Amino acid sequence: MKQTGEKIHFLNPLSRSWIIRLASIITGGSIWILAGDIATVPPSLVSLAVIMISIGLLVLFLDIGRALKSEFDILKVFMPIIAAVGIGAILLLAEHSFRYLFFLWPLDDGEGFCLNQAKLLATGSALYPPIDCPPYIVTNYPPVFPFLLSFFIDPNNVLFFSGRLISVIATIITCMAASRCVVAATGNRKAGWIAGILIAASPVIYFWSALVRVDLLATALGIIGLRIAMTYRGSARYLSVPFVVAALFTRQSSVEAAAAIAVGMLLEPPGEKNGRNSPFIRALIFVVLWTAITVLSVLFLQLWSDGEFWKHTVTYTKTRFFSMRLISNMQWIFQTHSLLLVLALIALPSALKDSKRRMLGIFFIASFGTALLSGKIGSDLNYFLNLIVASACLVGCFAHDLARFSLSGQNRPAWLIPAMILIPATIVHSGLLTGYRTLSFQPRWEDNHNGFLIFDILSDSDEPILSEDEGFCLIAGHEVIFNPFIMSELAREGTWDQTDFVNSIKNREYKIIMLRFDVNNPHHDDRTEAGKYAGWDRFTNEMEEAISENYEINPNIGVIYMRRPWHFYRRKEELGAEVSEIMRLRNLLESEAGNY
């Protein structure tokens, strides 16, 4: 690189710059220690880290101040500290994924259903069965994820490992593909690395990266398609179509990448480099291919499922929308990703103007649109995954622009260094504000032990069981009979007649019922007024009344905690005289305790 003025020695790796780089790495590592979980850091270590941070920043900015007198690459200067905090984020993500991969028990309410769908395919059963007869389940996602997972599970010994591994691999692919998108848009590899690091540092990515869920696979497929469209030219760009269609048939809301490619092609300047056709023709070809494959796939799935595919993935998933739930989710996302989102919004106008970055800008806008679906009852933060990926890509482009400004000589803006500081600050921000280990469930030894207790209780039953957590039901060797949340919603809407299912409870067809709440407690959590718009009301009043009248909590088991308290119900007549005596003694003890 041609330089003007005084030679900048710290850009030469053979000079004393390694002292600066080492100080930067120590600084970044110390910041990450403080950011990860400050409550567990000993005071002496906190003091030492503060001293190292102060020394590192002082040395760094003194040298940067000297560099401002001449041409320099600010991204190259700050890359050590960005790499340091980035490595911290990646190590935390890797450690978290490793623990999740080898945890034997369910980590999320949706894992059991995704695993059950793969088992249905592996055994040749209907993936989208009619809901007017048992099992009363709704397969609310398209078949790509369970189809892929079905090749890696043993129907006779169902485990979570394979499904979680697919999500971990999809997370890695997402980071790499997003990085390549930024390189295609800017030509700057360092900017691409920053985008990948920002994705890995997100607490939402952190939690969803190792679950048996469809979300990260859908995101990975979409970003691969976007990367192909941004990298290749001519007819090779249409290779993106299978990937964005696969994303749609992994999660039906994953249309952001397809929209970004179509609109981006339409707005491209004409030229031989982009192909012989005009921008309109290129966009039209893409839309026609995407639409044709999508329509043919829907028709095939409709025939394959005897007309049930559309009902399960569209009709039955039209749950109620609550603006307060959307506001709550948006508020949380902004609190934990405010720096990322603000920098992305700053970079958005230039991305929309630059033909090389335009697809990323449109991807951001489209992702914001689908994030609004998080207001649906039962939705979660997975609706923000694509928005986080798009934001990280725009911030990577922003870092490239800062590097360009640093090489502009006398026209260098005064806000350059403060703006560059925001890049590593953004990586740290989420961990500093939320604490990675308090954001999501962190398995402990007690959880593993209690998981074995639940497994033993359920696997000992040779009769059908009704479990609110379908994952435990599956790994214990039982059939998943009921999908509590979505079936209860359909019953309230009048779409599904719950009479037969309620009668099955009244007829005591289930030897064990496993619920997260005490149905006889009038203040239990599974009430509309308790969850309001959160979707916690997972059983109708008729179902709860049937359970209360015909089942009773087994006092020999009590409450077992694994992520949440689990209550075990047995048929009332099976409790016998011994249980009645236990209940009498318990009531007597509680009465005597109340007199004191």
Q: Which residues pair with 552 in a beta bridge?
A: 570
For the entire predicted model, the pTM comes to 0.85
Residue whose structure tokens are 């030894």: 445
Determine the Cα–Cα distance for residues 262 and 237; give it in Å rounded to an integer.
Answer: 11
pLDDT for the residue numbered 88? 81
Classify residue 157 by its DSSP letter.
B
Q: Which of 516, 511, 526 is nearest to 567 (CA)?
A: 516
Residues 6+ apart with CB under 8 A from 120: 126, 127, 146
Q: Where are the domains of the chain?
A: 1-72, 73-103+163-439, 445-594
CB atoms within 10 A of CB 157: 8
pLDDT classification of 439: cutoffs 50, 70, 90: low
The least confident of 58-67, 462-471, 546-555 is: 58-67
30-89 residue pLDDT tens: 555 555 555 455 555 555 555 666 666 655 665 555 555 555 677 777 787 788 888 888
Q: Would you state the structure tokens that stand for residue 503, as one six-digit string?
A: 């009668």
317-364 residue pLDDT tens: 887 788 888 888 888 888 888 889 999 999 999 999 999 999 999 999
CB atoms within 10 A of CB 105: 20
What is the phi/psi pair of residue 80, to 5°?
Answer: -60, -45
Kindly provide the residue ranges of all beta strands, DSSP E only, lying in 249-365, ordered along the sequence. Answer: none
CB-CB contact of 379 with 373 (8 Å) = yes
365-378 residue pLDDT tens: 999 999 998 888 77
Burial of 10 (0-12, 13-18, 19+ CB in 10 A): buried
Helices (H), 39-73: 43-67
Q: Which residues pair with 566 in a beta bridge?
A: 560
pLDDT over 80 (residue 594): no
Q: Which of 24, 174, 45 is nearest to 87 (CA)?
A: 24
Determine the Cα–Cα distance for residues 12 and 19; give it in Å rounded to an integer.
Answer: 12
pLDDT for the residue numbered 3? 42
561-576 residue pLDDT tens: 988 889 999 998 765 5
Classify residue 526 by its DSSP letter.
-
pLDDT classification of 481: cutoffs 50, 70, 90: very high
